[in-house]
Chain A
Amino acid sequence: MADTMTEKSIEEINERIEDGSVRVVTADRMSEIVSELGAEEAAKEVDVVTTGTFGPMCSSGVFLNFGHADPPIKMQRVWLNDVEAYAGIAAVDAYLGATQLSEEKGLNYGGGYVIEDLVAGKPIDMRAAGYVTDCYPRKDLETTITLEDLNQAIMVNPRNAYQRYASATNSTDRTLYTYMGTLLPNYRNVNYSGAGALSPLYNDPDFETIGVGTRIFLCGAGGYVVGMGTQHDPIHRFGTLMVTGNLKEMNPEFLKGATFHGYGVTLYVGIGIPIPILNERMAKKTAISDADVVTDVIDYGVGRRERPVLRTVTYEELKSGMIELGGKEVPTSPLSSFFMANKVADELTSRIEQGEFFLSPQVERLSRDTVVKPMKQPELPLVKDVMIREVKTVDDRASIAEAAKLMMESQSTHIPVLSGDGKLAGMVTAWDISTAVAKRHEELSEIMTKKVITAGLEEPLELVIRKMERSNISALPVIDDERRVIGMVSSDEISKLIGKRKKWQWKLRI
């Protein structure tokens, strides 16, 4: 019976919003309140917990309807400030995605910025191309539009508000520019994203209140949850939401176009979700703190889908500014903004308190068992499929002349140099030998490359080609875990493979 005492309905909460007696707190304060009063009392005292997040959410975009031109055009392709929107929907509808790049400015401008500029009321140059039909006689069009000129501008974001996100670091010896920001070499920093204890889905991990039709704060406008987001992964606490809202009612303060250097354009989206405290159970769930939200530290130095997890970490540790990684203290950076997430939650709180925002019951609960599958794809060639296994090597105490002789005999321009224990110590190339002759060097160790770029047996050839392009090399040794040379891959083998594949494709076409 005690439980029914604290059972509230959304209608009752909405009545309290109406008469101004509603009690709203932000999610970061709830853990304190529950530990002070206990969940049962807290459920009586608090009606709504507000959550908020403000982070880069690439899977975002807007549906736009431009109205009909005269003479009418069926837009096949359309560009807004030189950023292409998808126009394969009727004649004058388009979907502009946040990550689409400007054709002129590349990574420095794109969909996210166009969306921000639209909301800020700026004029946007529009260009469209179509094909002629009896009902749509026009071929192309150029004009300038503002948000006001559009019939509809409806934000529909397929994947927003990740429950939590993995944090990123970099094991390699070069700086990586990723969607997780700038990752310094040799694990020198850790970047993370997500709002921790303020995260909407982390405060309702079983989707008891957040579901299809839940009314939310979206970039300053009132919006709704459409349903589960793409890549929704509730079992692993990586739930996502698909959300929608009217772009015309949004505020540029709560959405920002942004560029992650070397990666591309995205959109910072501000989302606030109210959680009705219907009972003791919801009071308990919203009482989480940053220490309860755990995530992985992942090595982005590995260019594969499954990247190694180095450790688990709580948002409390991440937010402290330093975490321990491999025996060292490493500085951390958030990529989403706690300052703005708090602002979102505060703004939502104030709208509810002032009777401007009412809660809606979910129409349907979000899936709790959806799984995320990897892409189905044909198997790609690996290093072991193309590498040469018979590799001539030379000892690091050998003379330059010996290395040159070996090169001639083996007809190879790249020879791995081994140290006394049989492990890879360097590489010597025909170019190094010519340099040695020109500069009169004597020792092999003087001319060989000591910082060798290597490949692993199970590495996809695609990644090896990237290494070759990046370092401007044409061959690299394949090594095992003990740095023993077990093969070589060179651009020759790769061209042969591509040649074969072309032949195969040609046969298929016949």
Chain B
Amino acid sequence: MKLLLRYPLPLDEMPYTAEVILETGAKINIDRATRDELIVDVPGDDVEHVAELFREKGVEVRKLLKLITWDEERCIHCGACISVCPTRVFTFNPSWNINLEEEKCVRCEICVKACPLSALACVE
């Protein structure tokens, strides 16, 4: 499962993620990182424990159940989203309609701007 972590401001330069990894031994994958926000992929069994430890350290934790929303009614399957996506979330099916693999999404939002039909959105 993916977690959105928001670090307390001002940043106190503490290696929270490293600490949580060492304490839990969880294989945490960092999908995307900005200055005070991190999206991490945590194996299912470790999610609760990892989330709890981050919260204890004062980090805001939100479970990302929906990474990206796709308005299939609006979509015309052009494919403008395909080449801009850094993690290859979008591919064509043999009949040239879009296939979306949500679990690959790191919420960079590049596709949101690239979609001419405004059919993609990253909701909170």
CB neighbours (8 Å) of A335 from chain B are 78-80, 116
Docked pose: A258 CA to B97 CA in angstroms: 18
Q: Does B122 contact A (CB under 8 A)?
A: no
9 shortest interchain CB distances as A-B pairs: A333-B83, A189-B83, A339-B77, A258-B116, A338-B96, A182-B114, A331-B83, A261-B113, A339-B96
Chain B: minimal CB distance from A179 (Å): 10
User: Which residues of A, 165-183, contact B by the 8 Å Cβ criterion?
Assistant: 177, 181-182
For the complex with contacts A184-B83, A184-B84, A331-B82, 18 further pairs of A-B residues with Cβ separation under 8 Å are A181-B80, A181-B114, A191-B83, A256-B117, A259-B116, A259-B118, A321-B82, A333-B79, A333-B83, A333-B84, A334-B78, A335-B78, A335-B79, A336-B78, A337-B76, A339-B76, A339-B95, A342-B96
Chain B: minimal CB distance from A113 (Å): 10
> Are A340 and B83 in contact (CB-based, < 8 A)?
no
User: Which B residues have a C-beta under 8 Å from some C-beta of A?
Assistant: 76-84, 88, 91-92, 95-97, 110, 113-114, 116-118
Closest to B117 in A: A258
Closest to A268 in B: B76
| Contact digits for A391-406, partner B, Cβ 8 Å, 1 yes 0 no | 0000000000000000
CB neighbours (8 Å) of B77 from chain A are 337-340
Most chain A beta-carbon contacts within 10 A, residue among B76, B83, B92, B95: B83
Q: Known contacts A182-B114, A258-B117, A340-B76; is A333 also within 8 Å of B81 by CB? A: yes
CB neighbours (8 Å) of B80 from chain A are 181-182, 191, 333-335
CB neighbours (8 Å) of A331 from chain B are 82-83, 88
> Are A56 and B79 in contact (CB-based, < 8 A)?
no
Chain A: minimal CB distance from B120 (Å): 12
Mind listing 28 A-B residue pairs with CB under 8 Å?
Answer: A56-B116, A177-B113, A182-B113, A182-B114, A189-B83, A191-B80, A191-B83, A258-B117, A261-B113, A261-B114, A262-B113, A321-B82, A330-B83, A331-B83, A333-B79, A333-B80, A333-B81, A333-B82, A333-B83, A333-B84, A335-B79, A335-B80, A337-B96, A338-B96, A339-B76, A339-B95, A339-B96, A340-B77
> Are B83 and A332 in contact (CB-based, < 8 A)?
yes
> Are A182 and B78 in contact (CB-based, < 8 A)?
no
User: Which residues of A, 307-360, contact B by the 8 Å Cβ criterion?
Assistant: 321, 330-340, 342
Chain B: minimal CB distance from A360 (Å): 29
Docked pose: A182 CA to B112 CA in angstroms: 10
Docked pose: A285 CA to B22 CA in angstroms: 67
User: Which A residues have a C-beta under 8 Å from some C-beta of B?
Assistant: 54, 56, 177, 181-182, 184, 189-191, 256, 258-262, 266, 268, 321, 330-340, 342
Most chain A beta-carbon contacts within 10 A, residue among B91, B92, B113, B114: B114
Docked pose: A340 CA to B79 CA in angstroms: 11
CB neighbours (8 Å) of A332 from chain B are 82-83
Chain A: minimal CB distance from B63 (Å): 29
Chain B: minimal CB distance from A105 (Å): 12
Docked pose: A342 CA to B80 CA in angstroms: 17
Chain B: minimal CB distance from A344 (Å): 11
Chain B: minimal CB distance from A171 (Å): 16
Docked pose: A336 CA to B110 CA in angstroms: 19
Closest to A183 in B: B84
Docked pose: A337 CA to B95 CA in angstroms: 11
Closest to B78 in A: A337
CB neighbours (8 Å) of A336 from chain B are 78
CB neighbours (8 Å) of A54 from chain B are 76
Most chain B beta-carbon contacts within 10 A, residue among A259, A262, A337, A338: A337
Chain A: minimal CB distance from B104 (Å): 14
Docked pose: A273 CA to B88 CA in angstroms: 35
Closest to A54 in B: B76
> Are A339 and B116 in contact (CB-based, < 8 A)?
no
Closest to A341 in B: B96
> Are B83 and A339 in contact (CB-based, < 8 A)?
no
Docked pose: A330 CA to B79 CA in angstroms: 15
Closest to B90 in A: A333
CB neighbours (8 Å) of B110 from chain A are 182
CB neighbours (8 Å) of A321 from chain B are 82, 91-92
Q: Known contacts A339-B76, A339-B97; is A182 also within 8 Å of B84 by CB? A: yes
